Structure 1
């Protein structure tokens, strides 16, 4: 009995221990879910100390390096240039990324410096270049040419300086010069006396500049006694330029703003054969009826204006451009320079007009019969 009681007591003690352990485990606290910390505000980046702006370098750094030419048989040939053995008087320095003109050998007659990065012309490279006749400086960045440069070039005949950044016609040009090309610059005026004593100049090209009426005075072209071609197209002129040389054969004034031509403007131009006034603002009001009745005139271009009628012209005119105006009708009897009293068999009296352009107006075919009867030499008419 005692054994049985003892065994029961042990069993009861073991069960009690198990129950106590189960209660302990079931009462363990559950782990809490981690809470998200509030975001820590980021500090703004430290401001770098301000650096004062640096001045631009004297020579832009975006220019490619100069291209050196091959070794030459001429010891005086600059490395930036090419001296062809077959042309000992030519110095070829074009397309070489040159920024400064090298020393020009004394044997040089023809100097090619186009398509580079030259910004100014000084006299030092030309100290021994007294035989130079031809200089091509086109398509550079030239904004200044020293007057002393031309003192070193007493034999210069041709100067090409188009596509640069010149604001004025260079001063001190040599009297020997025959052709001067200054198109596509920034020239806004021609100083009085700029062409004094330049009686040898036959061609002056000032196309596509910034010339206005105030930039041309009555003495701007003084001295050009033998000028043959004057190109003032693509500027901002409102009036016909005054005091242009009477020796002219070709006068180009396209793409200006000219709206008026003085009545007797062409009276003294006995050699004038080619006149271009396309793309201006000419109307019947600004064009006197007989202003183009000049016996020397062979080619007259008045396209893209505001003309409502055909101006009178001389019987020697061969080409007439009147397209893109506001012309609505043609009266062949009125515009015919042929006299009704003249002998119809005398071909010397027949008007010489061969080409007539009238498209872009308010005209409809056919061509009036009186026009055909008057201009019997007419080969082509566009309407």
Structure 2
């Protein structure tokens, strides 16, 4: 019964706009895994799971008759749901054992020092779509188990100071952040996902050493003011998304630091030139997005990427496709089959493309051609 109610709450939470986060089932699984890991490190035998298993529930009264819950909010199974209430501040009387607080779609302008004081079990905090301009530097001093912090669609000028070292996911999409200062993420060894799109951030705004010692797997800085690929991001990156920027060229040194990269997003930029050998530095890449740029030819080196399965080159200025642009020429070289090659909306004469050009494609439905209009 408890899990059913919580799943309904999480379903409503993840379907509310403009919050774009993992599905409620994925969030539940992440919570369970994180809490299981934290339970293994605890010395006591208290039940710290998000979905308590040791509580004694009265079968005739499964709900608490008089639960402590902020006025107007809904509380159950350690979830406090206070979205869409027109709140101008964080409500008081939040239960101390709360694991998830949903405050999105309100009118909160400031997070004060003691707003979350004592919430030592807090796992996820959702503040999307408010009017935040200030978060007190001591706000998160006691939330030492906070794993997921969502601050998107606010008016913050900087990344909050003194974030919990336990944080695994930070989403600060669509704010006014212009700079990532050195030591902003210092000691945050668990930070794996960083979403910073739709901020007025340029290359000079990323200070050297800003990500020193941090293990981040996924970074998205789309819809910003980048004119080149940042060279000082974490070397642990598996996914890098820089779509909708002002990048015009890709240089040989751009990917030298990101050898583990598997997904690369450079769509909707101004790229007209990719230096030969640039992709050789990311030999594990599986998916590349270069759609809606200004390329005049298929980038070199794709045929040597043995794991590459998806490549989007649609809506460029490509006029010719060579027989060896995608597939290896060495007969003994093993290459993953392409599941998607998009060349649509390019001024290329499809009749001049030789059938052997797509010899390493999964099937003919994996190739998209045509639809070009002058």
Given the two structures, how large is their TM-score scaled by the length of structure 2?
A: 0.76
Aligned to 1:47: none
1:97-152 residue CA offsets vs partner (Å, 9 max, x unmatched): 11111222212111111111100001222222121111000110001111101102
Larger C-alpha radius of gyration, 1 or 2? 1
- Determine the C-alpha separation between the residues in 2 that align with 1:268 and 1:185: 28
Q: Does 1:291 align with 2:278?
A: yes
Aligned to 2:232: 243
Q: How much does 1:93 deviate? A: 1.0
1:153-190 residue CA offsets vs partner (Å, 9 max, x unmatched): 11101101111110111111010000001001111111
Q: How much does 1:262 deviate? A: 2.6
The 3-state SS of whatever aligns with 2:139 is: helix
Change (3 A) 1:267 1:191: closer
After the TM superposition, which residues 1-383 of structure 1 pair with which residues of structure 2 at under 5 Å, given as runs? 73-84=65-76, 87=77, 89-103=78-92, 104-225=94-215, 227-284=216-273, 287-293=274-280, 294-311=282-299, 312-313=301-302, 314-333=305-324, 335-340=325-330, 342-343=331-332, 349-366=334-351, 367-373=353-359, 375=361, 379-383=365-369
- Determine the C-alpha separation between the residues in 2 that align with 1:378 and 1:187: 45
Change (3 A) 1:106 1:376: closer
Aligned to 2:55: none
Q: Structure 2: give runs of 5+ residues left out of the alignment.
A: 1-62, 370-374
1:302-331 residue CA offsets vs partner (Å, 9 max, x unmatched): 011111111121132101100111110111
Aligned to 2:18: none
- Determine the C-alpha separation between the residues in 1 that align with 2:96 and 2:255: 46
Change (3 A) 1:124 1:356: same
The 3-state SS of whatever aligns with 1:151 is: coil
Q: Is the 8 A contact 1:134 1:156 kept in 2?
A: yes
- Determine the C-alpha separation between the residues in 1 that align with 2:65 and 2:119: 19
- Determine the C-alpha separation between the residues in 2 that align with 1:97 and 1:228: 36
Q: How much does 1:350 deviate? A: 3.9
Change (3 A) 1:271 1:73: farther
Say how many residue pairs are matched.
301
- Determine the C-alpha separation between the residues in 2 that align with 1:337 and 1:270: 21
The 3-state SS of whatever aligns with 1:292 is: helix
1:272-314 residue CA offsets vs partner (Å, 9 max, x unmatched): 1100001111112xx1122123320100000111111111211
The 3-state SS of whatever aligns with 2:279 is: coil
Given the two structures, how large is their TM-score scaled by the length of structure 1?
A: 0.75
